[in-house]
C-alpha cells in the first residue's frame, strides 16, 4: 500500500491520543467504583496539603476522645465507690447510734455491733483498693500498689490502734482522741501526688482521690473506735467518745458528698469536651469527604461520555488507516 510520508507522524500522534483517552477512561472507571477522586495524594495535588492537615486533626481528635472515654470510666468507678462508701458511713452511724442508745454490753447481745463495724471497715478497705485496668484508683501517683492495708482480724486492729503513736488511744483520757487523731493514715501505702487530667487544650480535670484524704480517714477512724473498745461498749455517759465518733462519721458523710459533687462536675466537663470533639470529628470528616469524593451522577455521565468518545476515536482511526493515496491515483 502506498502511503504518504507524513502519515507516520499522524499515526503516532493519534495513537498517543488514544492511549491518553484510555487512561482517562480507566481513571473514571476507578472513580465510579470507589467514589474517590484519586487513590493517592498525587491525584488531588491541589488539595493534598489541606487534606493531610484535616486527616491529622481527625486522628488527634479521635485519640483524645478515646483517652477521654477511658477517663470517663475512671470517673464512673470513683462515683460508684463514693456511693458505696457513703452507704457504709450511714450504716456505721446508724449502728453506732443504736449501740450507744441501747446501753447494753455488746458481749451480752445476740449480735455484737463491733463485729458488724469490723465488716464495714473491711468493706471500706475493699472500695479504697478499687482497680481499673490494673491501676489502683485511690493511691495517688502510685497506681501499681494496693493503697490501703488494714488488719484481717479485730484483735490485730485493736492492738494497732490502741498503742502509743497510733491513730486513737482508747485507754487514755478523752482528750487523747483529739491529740492522736493527727496520725490517721497508718493504713495508707500510696503517695501524696494530686493527679489531674487534661481533657483538652483548655480543660483540665481534677477528680482523682487518695485514700488518705479526710473523708476516708474519718470513716476508717470512726469504725476503728467502734471496733476497739476496752470497756466492750461505748458508755453513753462518755460524751467525749460519743461526740468524737459521731463527729468523725458526720464529717466523713459531708466530705463524701463533696467528693460526689466534684465527680459530677468533672463528668459534666468531660461530657462537654467529648461532645465538642465528636462534633469536630464529624465536621472535619465531612470536609475530607468533600475533597476526596466525587459526585456519583456526574462521574457516571463523564464515564459514559468518555467511553463513547473513545469508541468514536477507534472507529475514526480505523477508517483513516484504510485510506491510501493509491485510492486517488
In a domain, 126, yes or no: yes
pLDDT at 124 (0 to 100)? 95
206: domain CATH number is 1.20.1330.10
Domain extent, residue 148, equals: 73-284
In a domain, 36, yes or no: no
Q: State mean pLDDT over 205-226.
A: 88
In a domain, 319, yes or no: no
pLDDT at 329 (0 to 100)? 58
Q: State mean pLDDT over 38-65.
A: 76
In a domain, 20, yes or no: no
End-to-end CA distance of the chain: 12
| pLDDT of 169 above 50 | no
| pLDDT of 149 above 90 | no
Q: State mean pLDDT over 134-163.
A: 80
Q: Which residue has the higher pLDDT, 46 or 71?
A: 71
| pLDDT of 85 above 60 | yes
pLDDT at 295 (0 to 100)? 59
User: For residue 279, what is the enclosing H or E element?
Assistant: helix 239-292
Q: What is the DSSP string of 221-256?
A: HHHHHHH--TTSS--TT-HHHHHHHHHHHHHHHHHH
Neighbour-count burial for 140-174, b at 16+ CB within 10 Å, e otherwise: bebbeebbbebbeebeebbebbbeeebbbbbeeee
pLDDT at 172 (0 to 100)? 37
CB 137 within 8 A of CB 73: no
pLDDT at 99 (0 to 100)? 74
How far, in Å, CA of 59 to CA of 273, rounded? 16
pLDDT at 184 (0 to 100)? 52
Residues 6+ apart with CB under 8 A from 224: 121, 157, 161, 167, 168
pLDDT at 125 (0 to 100)? 94
User: Per the structure, how many domains does the chain have?
Assistant: 1
| pLDDT of 104 above 90 | no
DSSP-assigned letter for residue 325: G
pLDDT at 55 (0 to 100)? 84
Q: Which residue has the higher pLDDT, 225 or 28?
A: 225
pTM above 0.95, yes or no: no
In a domain, 39, yes or no: no
pLDDT band at 175 (very low <50, low <70, confident <90, very high): very low
In a domain, 304, yes or no: no
pLDDT band at 122 (very low <50, low <70, confident <90, very high): very high
In a domain, 33, yes or no: no
| Phi and psi at residue 87, to the nearest 5° | -60, -40
Most confident range, picked from 18-22, 83-87, 134-138, 229-233? 83-87
In a domain, 138, yes or no: yes
Amino acid at each position: 500500500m502506498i502511503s504518504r510520508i507524513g502519515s507516520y507522524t499522524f499515526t503516532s500522534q493519534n495513537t498517543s491520543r488514544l492511549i491518553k483517552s484510555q487512561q482517562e477512561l480507566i481513571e473514571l472507571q476507578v472513580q465510579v467504583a470507589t467514589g474517590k477522586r484519586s487513590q493517592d495524594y498525587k491525584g488531588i495535588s491541589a488539595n493534598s496539603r489541606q487534606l493531610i492537615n484535616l486527616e491529622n486533626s481527625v486522628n488527634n481528635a479521635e485519640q483524645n476522645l478515646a483517652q477521654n472515654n477511658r477517663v470517663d470510666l475512671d470517673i464512673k468507678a470513683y462515683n460508684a465507690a463514693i456511693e458505696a462508701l457513703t452507704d457504709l458511713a450511714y450504716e456505721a452511724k446508724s449502728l453506732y447510734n443504736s449501740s450507744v442508745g441501747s446501753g447494753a454490753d455488746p458481749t451480752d447481745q445476740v449480735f455484737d455491733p463491733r463485729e458488724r463495724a469490723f465488716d464495714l471497715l473491711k468493706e471500706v478497705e475493699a472500695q479504697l483498693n478499687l482497680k481499673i485496668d490494673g491501676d489502683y484508683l485511690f493511691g495517688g501517683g502510685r497506681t501499681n500498689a494496693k493503697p490501703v492495708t488494714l488488719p484481717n482480724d479485730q484483735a490485730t486492729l485493736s492492738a494497732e490502734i490502741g498503742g502509743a503513736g497510733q491513730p486513737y488511744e482508747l485507754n487514755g483520757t478523752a482528750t487523747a482522741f483529739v491529740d492522736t487523731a493527727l496520725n490517721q493514715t497508718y493504713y495508707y501505702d500510696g503517695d501524696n501526688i494530686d493527679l489531674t487530667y487534661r481533657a483538652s487544650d483548655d480543660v483540665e480535670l481534677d477528680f482523682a482521690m487518695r485514700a488518705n484524704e479526710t473523708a476516708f480517714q474519718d470513716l476508717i477512724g470512726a469504725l476503728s473506735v467502734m471496733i476497739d473498745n476496752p470497756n466492750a461498749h461505748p458508755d453513753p455517759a462518755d460524751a467525749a467518745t460519743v461526740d468524737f465518733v459521731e463527729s468523725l462519721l458526720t464529717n466523713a458523710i459531708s466530705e463524701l458528698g463533696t467528693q460526689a459533687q466534684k465527680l459530677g462536675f468533672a463528668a459534666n466537663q468531660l461530657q462537654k469536651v467529648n461532645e465538642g470533639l465528636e462534633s469536630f470529628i464529624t465536621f472535619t470528616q465531612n470536609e475530607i469527604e468533600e475533597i476526596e469524593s466525587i459526585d456519583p451522577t456526574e462521574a457516571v455521565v463523564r464515564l459514559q461520555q468518555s467511553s463513547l468518545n473513545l469508541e468514536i476515536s477507534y472507529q475514526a482511526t480505523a477508517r483513516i488507516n484504510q485510506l491510501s493515496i493509491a485510492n486517488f491515483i
